[in-house]
Structure 1
Amino acid sequence: MLRPAFCFSLAAIAALSVSAQDLDTTYVSDEFTSGSRGNALGTGPTFNNSLTDGTEFLAITNTDGVTGTINYINIFAGATGGEVESPVYNVTVAQDNQDRTLPGAIEAIVASGGADPGAVLVGDDGGTNGLLFGENDDANYFVEAAVYCYNRTTPGPPGYETHSVMFRGARDGEGLLSGGGGSYTMDRVAGSFAITWDAQLGTVFARRWNGSTTTADITNRVATTFTDFGSTTLAEGWHTFRIEGYGSVITFTVDGSELASVIDSTFPNGRAGLIYREASVVSADETQAYFDNMRAGPATPPTVTSVEQFELYR
């Protein structure tokens, strides 16, 4: 017989102490209207004459008009201090930056306050780059962002380009590269959950990056590198990716439709992130990655009605 103690809502989690970076308890959002992200002095080891893991605390006014602080970590050479890393651009105007000539103007996405032409560019920096936020021990939260999905299937340059929203990745002490330089990664060392748009395949995947893989395995799409839970094709344009996890239950949605929902306890905690990775694409042909309308915060607590569900969500 089920004891009444198991029939409860886990809303009491919200009573935990609040931190500006604790996504388990605090909502954050960023419309990316101006400035840049994660471009302050790096805190990681030296790589290609600059410090990796540039960090930046920013006061961001969220969609409810509340101003809070987001600490962005810009992986790899985030310490250059210039707009080369993650600038906010008016996407309706063709832009160039210090690293690459960008593909050209695109349409603006409609934000909560109307059409806002600003979006953050996460660009190539040695094959991958990303903006991380949240805390190492974040576990029960959601993250979503609008992602501009370039379709490179026809004719498309050869190679590999992905744009991802990452969930429970970049954990301290296990997500760092070794050798020539060190930095957090989505897929290379520790692994994570993600919704990943593969521009050359024209397909979006609900995915677990398995970690402990080589860059060659990632960019050659070697099957052991990842586990896919679902996929679908998308037209080129803006699409909203959302991942929400509570305990072992992880749900992936694209444009409000469920792509996959799985029970997976591989990664119980980790940061959120907006990630770009490429390989074997001529620099002039790289799209880079535009993200907008980022939102993250506590996952909706489930109502537990059985011992089995309690074990999944605790």
Structure 2
Amino acid sequence: MPSLAGSLLRGALLSPFRRPRPDAAFPRAPLTLPGVRIDLARLAAYERICGFPTGDDALPPTYPHVLGFPLAMRLMSARDFPLPLLGLVHTGFDLTRYTALPATAAYELTVRVEGLAPHRRGTEAAVLTVLRRGGEVVWESRSTYLARHRTDRADGDANGTADGDAYGTANATDRAAPLPASPPLAEWRLGGDLGRRYAAVSGDRNPIHLHPLTARLFGFPRPIAHGMWTVARCLAAHGTPDAVRVRARFLAPVPLPGTVEYAAGNGRFTLRGDGQTHLTGTVERLASGPRR
């Protein structure tokens, strides 16, 4: 597994020299790592901080993202990746799990950069992660990351924008005809150290999540929660079938410390706080079975 510390250091050193733009060249070759085994102690720590039950033999639906994160970091810290690693904001996450994932199995991980796209607040990169077992695809995801910079785009990007959508990730349908709000089910109080605690189990030590001082360097008055923690926490509360498709959009940062309200209903979930929507997502049951 690539060294996360090495990738973070390389990405930090190269970040000031990046000149992000949507038509820039990017690394196209995938990275593949066979024979991946799960560290059960680290898995249990992840489950505890995200609210998943511990001791189950199956991986939580979001955990393969953590497994693939070192490979993604290697790609995004490479010299030919055009976006600055420091300050990247996770704006969207889609996953498909085709079957239950045993925690004691061996897997093959493949990660690649799908491409770059213009965004109303900068340039967005899409990263694809695929998990295979016995040659069959059992899980895959698509993450989008935003590098914020000055643009000439005065109106919405290709995805559309919506009120309260700080990153411009809501689609045009949601903007034109918002769905009824889901009923609130829980209120969660988030500590100021949540970003540091999640970083310890996920390896994602982006400075915007760690301390007020480092967050201010990238335009955030306070540290913000990891997007992947918010979606994992919501899925732990919502529950997911073995075969499932999840789509999540991070609409506004979650400042730390803070209080958020979790709402869910009819296969949708929402995280709200301070009068704005931070996260929306959907959970869709699929027919079980791996994909070749």
Query: Rg larger in 1 or in 2?
Result: 1
Q: Normalising by structure 2, report the TM-score.
A: 0.30
Q: TM-score, normalised by structure 1?
A: 0.29
* Greater fraction of residues in strand: 1
